[in-house]
Amino acid sequence: MASLTQNKSLSQQELAELIGVSRMTVHRALSNHPDVSTETRERIARLAREYGYRPNAAARAMKQQRTRHIGVLIRNEPDDRMTHLMTFETILGLNEGLEASGNILSIIRVGDVKQSLESGSRVFREQVLDGMVLLCELPDAIDQRVQQLVPHCVWVESQTWREDRCIRRDEVYAGRRCAQALIDLGYREIVWVGHPGKRHKPELMSRFEPNYVGGARERGVREAIAGRDNVALREFDLAYDSPETFAAMPGFLASLGP
């Protein structure tokens, strides 16, 4: 038996013959099918490990027309590598859920996608992925192109919003909780630091707004302060690439006081 398992991977039929059950029983047991008892499933799984059985992913993909391979697209370009480290926890959660359902996760960077689209990467040319999670704000051209190439897409904390296949935090709630925590600590002035191009506009505010994160959080802060005469809100515009911002920063920090 050792020579057999060392030289080649067993098929389910060969494993079934060694164990003394039908191939269908082996298949159902290894697929956690409910028609197979827990005792039988555990016995077959144990013997499969002992005999060195490994599922053939390529054969399974051909039969099921699925690769069970899911990509996670993150914005992490060569000139901006450290932008989205906060997505690490989200990626860990995605990986945990995908592993539990028998899928494999691959991280794909926006810069890689740009090169892949130009060079014809196997990931897209051969439809290696069953689906893609598009994480955070991405260039519109990339967003649209990935939708054309990958059969199933889900957007997480993205500028894209649809009634289905989209997941977002409640940013209004987050802003409200942050402001309330400061008020409860006794602070009587709250400073909102935001990008001037992404300010809260009540007449435009909705979950469909592309730049929803900053505007929604600011809305929550304003809701927490509304009606409180003893709490003031001060604003500071932080344009990330503006020389004026850097020039004004020392004075702004000094104005915060103790």
The alpha carbon dihedral of 146, 152, 158, 164 has a sign of positive
Residue 85: predicted pLDDT: 63
Predicted confidence pLDDT, tens digits, the chain (258 residues): 433 444 456 777 888 888 888 888 887 887 777 788 888 888 888 888 887 776 654 455 445 555 677 888 887 665 555 556 667 888 888 889 888 877 888 887 776 666 665 555 566 666 678 888 988 777 788 888 888 878 789 998 877 777 888 888 888 899 999 999 999 999 999 988 877 665 555 544 444 454 567 788 888 999 999 989 999 998 887 766 667 777 777 888 888 876
The alpha carbon dihedral of 234, 239, 240, 242 has a sign of negative
**Residue 101, SS3 per DSSP:** coil
Of the candidates 230, 237, 209, 233, the residue with the CA atom closest to the CA atom of residue 222: 233
Residue 184: predicted pLDDT: 95
> The tokens of 65 are what?
């027309």
Task: Name the pTM for this structure.
Answer: 0.56
Question: How far is Cα 172 from Cα 191, in angstroms, rounded to an integer?
Answer: 17
With a CB cutoff of 8 Å and minimum separation 6, the contacts of 134 are 73, 143, 146, 153, 154, 155, 156, 158, 160
